[in-house]
Structures are given as structure tokens and as C-alpha cells.
Amino acid sequence: MNRLRSLRWRIPIYVLYSIPSIVYLTIFFYIPIMMIIVYSFWQGGPLYKIVRVFTLENYVRFFTDELSRNVLIWTNLLALLIFGIVIIIAYPIAYFLARMMKGETGLKIILLILIPLEMNYLIRIFAWRNILGESGLINSTLLSLGVINEPLTMLFHSIYAIVIVAIHNDLPYAIFPLYITLKSIPRSLYEAAMDLGSNRLSVFFRITLPLSLPGVAIAFLFIYIPTVGEFAIPALVGGKTYLLGNLITRGFLDIGNWPFASAATMSILVLTLIAMFVVFKLTGMRWLYR
């Protein structure tokens, strides 16, 4: 009895605290991931045909099939484009809030920028339908101002709509990490550079930009990776646009070819992890992959 008691006394409390999260992650994350990995190496076909025999066929098909290969390339390019545009828009905003605003004002404005994220993701996408549609806000305004005679159709049910909606959704995820990194650059560095004869442009490219790259890397993590797997935005505003997320959801739900859909999922996971490590290495965040 005494021995038992002494054993129990030796369990550190942090182990006890970590049990719920370990159990949760194991059941809802690690086990499903393991199942997806296993499925991806089984033979399969439409309508839930699964033969529990090891094969690499699903991966070979994913990288060689014309449809999935094109979708893979196209989705990655689109995700990079969205990430690039978001950074171009977010950087000046974050810079202004971090370097130009005094005191806590910048942080207060950041909180205002984050408020839309409290709204349901799907509702935000649906709201764009009312803005971009043929009788939506943009077309109505342009028509009433006489700028256009016919409603612009390219704004909705198109790739442009996906880019616009994705940028709106992703902007806070770029502004916030950029603000943090820009805010944390010591003012003394700027003063020292100026004392040594640097002009504003030189200070930006030699101090501000390099030191803010970790913020860019975090924004990449928050934007590029979810965009590669995005399926709600293309489905709701993208018209016939077909991205990787759609290929996977349709593979699981409509076609029922789980092994192929699992292989596609794992391929994306690996590719995004590689992309993430490359970006982190380039931006100097070595501690993450050490």
C-alpha cells in the first residue's frame, strides 16, 4: 500500500495535465492521420472498393494523372499568388501600425482587424456572394455611376472571386505576425544605421525587411498551407474552378475512392511540409527544423 502510494506521489503534475490533450490528439488527430496513411497504400476504386493489398499505385496516379497533376500545379500557383498579394497588402498596413502609430493604438487597430474572424467562415464567404454577384454591391455601384453598361461577370463564379475572397480571409493572418515582428525590432538599430549614414531605403532593405522575415514565414504557414487544401471558397464562389481541396473531398464523398483521396491528402501534407521548411530556412527560422 505504502509502495503504491509512493509510486503515485512520484507522477509529476504536468504529466496529469497533459493527459487530456494527448488523448484528444491521439483519438482525433494521430489515429485519423495513421488511418489515412494506411488507406493511401491500399488498392482502391470508386464506390468504396478497397483491397487491403499494399500498392504505390495511388501515389503514382496522383503525380502522373493529367487531371490531378494539373490541379496540383494550378492550386500551388494560386496559393502562392494569394500569399504574395496578401503580403504585398498586409506589409504596409503592419508597417504603418507597428512603426508609425504611437503607443498601443496599432494594437487596438489590429484587434479591430481581427474582429471579422469571429464571424463564421462560411457566412463570410456567403457575404461575398452579395458583393461580387451580378446584382451585387460592386456591379450595382458601377452601373449606377455609369462606369459600366453591363454587369461584370468575371467577378463571380470565377478564379478572380476565389482570389478576392481568399485575400479578404487571409489578410488578418498576415497583418498580425508582421505587426509583431516589426514591433519587436529595436529602435536603436534604426538609430545606429542612420548614424552610420544609411538612408531610409537602405534601412528598410538592410534592417527592417530581413528582421521581419520571420513574420512573413508565419504568414506563409497561416495562408499558403490552408489555401492549398481550401475547398469551401472554390465551391461557393469559384464556379467551375476545381482545386486540390475539391479533388480530395469529391474523392472521399462523391466517388468513394478513399485510397486515392488518402494518397492525395498525404501528398499535399508532405509537399506543404517541404515548402514550409524551405521557407523557414530561407527566412532564418532555423530553430523550427533543428
User: What residue ranges bind another protein (CB under 8 A)?
Assistant: 5, 8-13, 15-16, 45-49, 67, 71, 133-135, 153, 156-157, 239-240, 242, 246-247, 250, 253-256, 258
Cβ 151 to another protein shortest distance, Å: 8
Q: Which residue's CB is nearer to another protein, number 181 or number 246?
A: 246
Q: Which residue's CB is nearer to another protein, number 39 or number 176?
A: 39
Q: Which helix (H) or strand (E) holds 174?
A: helix 159-183
Rounded Cα distance, 101 and 94, in Å: 10
* Residues sharing a CB contact under 8 Å with residue 125, sequence separation 6 or more, in sequence order: 165, 169, 232, 233, 236, 237
The HSE-up count of residue 146 (CA atoms within 13 Å, CB side) is: 0
Cell numbers representing residue 173 in the block: 493572418
Cβ 260 to another protein shortest distance, Å: 10
Cβ 223 to another protein shortest distance, Å: 24
Cβ 166 to another protein shortest distance, Å: 18
Handedness of CA 232, 235, 241, 247 (dihedral sign): positive
CB 112 within 8 A of CB 93: no
The per-residue b/e assignment along 218-244, b for 16 or more CB within 10 angstroms, e otherwise, is bbbbbbbbbbbbbbbbbbbbbbebbbb
Q: Which residue's CB is nearer to another protein, number 157 or number 216?
A: 157
Instruction: For cell 494506411, name the residue.
Output: 38
Give, to the nearest 10 degrees, the angle between helix 258-282 and helix 66-95.
40
Q: Which residue's CB is nearer to another protein, number 42 or number 176?
A: 42
The HSE-up count of residue 76 (CA atoms within 13 Å, CB side) is: 13
Q: Which residue's CB is nearer to another protein, number 249 or number 283?
A: 249
Cβ 280 to another protein shortest distance, Å: 32
Cβ 270 to another protein shortest distance, Å: 22
DSSP state of 118: G
Q: Which residue's CB is nearer to another protein, number 220 or number 258?
A: 258
* Residues sharing a CB contact under 8 Å with residue 89, sequence separation 6 or more, in sequence order: 167, 171, 174
Q: Which residue's CB is nearer to another protein, number 5 or number 290?
A: 5
Cβ 253 to another protein shortest distance, Å: 5
